[in-house]
Copies of this chain bind each other. A is one copy, B any other.
Amino acid sequence: MIRISIDAMGGDHGPAVVIPALMMVATRRPDVRFKVYGRSEVVRPELDKFPKLAAITEFIHCDVAVRMDDKPSKALRHGRWKSSMWKSIEAVKTGDADACVSAGNTGALMAMSKFCLRTMATIERPAIAAIWPTLRGESVVLDVGATIGADAHQLIDFAILGTAMARALYGMDKPTVGLLNIGVEEVKGQEEVKEAGRLLREASMMSMGYHGFVEGDDIGKGTVDVVVTEGFAGNIALKTAEGTVRQISTYLRAAMSRTLMARIGAVFAKGAFNTLKEKMDVRKANGGVFLGLNGIVVKSHGGTDDEGFAAAIELAYDMTRNRLLDRIEADLDLFHARHPKSSLRPAAAAGDAIE
């Protein structure tokens, strides 16, 4: 049995999307159980539509809902201890749930997750990992925006976290890892990336195949299973790719409706276009995973529909099932046993990014 806590008030559509998504997951993953947090007057009516779902769900009313435009600091101030977002995270801390899913605003969710669950002992900063569809399948890309900037040791943390996630999700023994870099030779400023590369190569960990540097176009190729970068570049890469997919979809739609011949062709090729649409469906890879905390929190895209939210829940389910946290802790222990903290972290710890 896997128990997922759900913040029903997050996202652009709230319970109207969240509750049908739970029903989807309940059908596909029969041993799932839910704890749902939200305002009774909007969640109850939705839940009542699915008696089967209600039977495996515990609903807990919360007065406060964090708004999509609340700043993290404000959300923490007003929503701590009592909001549906906080309560769903807290359920993971108390052991009442194995993982938490929310479509609420990223900054608030990260701030509350850090405050409630705390980062793991040897991790300085959590990261947000995205699942990126590639020509070879899927890759894990992190950090995609938890913090800006990362030193060599934080990049190594990200590599360990991402590797554990790839192992938990894809059943790989030794995922390959690449450090995102730019191709220009002899450019100053990438010292932390170079240093991280050197350390990863030396570490030669059993659970990680360090590949070397990769460039932006390697992500979509699937050159490596785990792409490691700091959050600013990672976020820009992710959003740029999403924008490019939308751009090409627009071109394709326009091209296929412009002439009669094209429209006839589109009828014949309907099946093929559906295959393509599925490949390009960003909903299927929905879910930013917060890594490095003492608990699993998955952030769903705020604007997603029920299928997208279901994908985020299933991600949380799969990672729990495959003991993500145990794997992370084992890898961290192994790495730090060989590289005592004193030698690895000469500089003072960088401050947390989200205040």
Contacts and interface: CB of A to CB of B under 8 A. Distances in A.
Contact of A147 (B188, B258, B269): B188
A189 B107 contact: no
Nearest to A272: B262
Give how many copies assemble into the complex.
Answer: 2
Contacts of A279: 251, 255
Nearest to A182: B235
Interface SS of chain A: helix, strand, loop or mixed? helix
Nearest to A238: B216
Contacts of A220: 240, 243-244, 246-247
A145 B188 CA distance: 11
Nearest to A69: B185
A248 B246 CA distance: 11
Interface string A49-92: 00000000000000000000001110000000000000000000
A276 to B, nearest CB: 4
Interface string A209-243: 00000011111110000000101110111111111
Interface of A: 71-73, 106-107, 134-135, 145-149, 180, 182-190, 215-221, 229, 231-233, 235-248, 250-252, 255-256, 258-259, 261-262, 264-273, 275-276, 279-280, 351, 353-355
